[in-house]
Amino acid sequence: MIYFHERILGSLIGDDTFALSFWNWDNPEGMFIPDMYMNGSFVDSQRERSHLPPEVADINFDYVERGLDPVDQIEANVAFMYHQM
């Protein structure tokens, strides 16, 4: 479905290489905030520094730090996605 959305948008703006930015955050290799989100308008000086790379993103963050090490955080993220999907 996204493929067709990208193709339609690309044809409307005259860019056949158009693609939406995608962050595969539910894959263990993608559980770190990508560099593309660390630059430009995505940067917020008020952002909590403890959530920035090289830290693993907590995809079930509920305003409470769990203090998990990276391996345990990845396991928690995978378990969360398993139960959500």
Cα–Cα dist 76/60, whole Å:
9
What's the pTM? 0.64
Q: Residue 53 and residue 65: Cα distance in Å, rounded?
A: 16
Exposure string (b/e) for 66-83, b if CB count within 10 Å is 16 or more?
Answer: eeeeeeebbebbeeeeee
Note down the domain range covering 46: 24-84
**Token pair 């999907």 in the structure block, residue:** 85
Domain count for the chain: 1
Asked if the structure places residue 3 within a domain, the reply is: no
pLDDT value for 10: 94
Which structure tokens are listed for 33? 């905030």
Whether 40 is in a domain gets the answer: yes
Q: What percent of the chain has pLDDT over 90?
A: 35
Specify if 41 maps to a domain. yes
Instruction: Encode pLDDT of 32-72 as tens digits.
Output: 888 877 777 767 777 777 777 888 989 898 888 888 999 99
The answer to whether position 8 is within a domain reads no
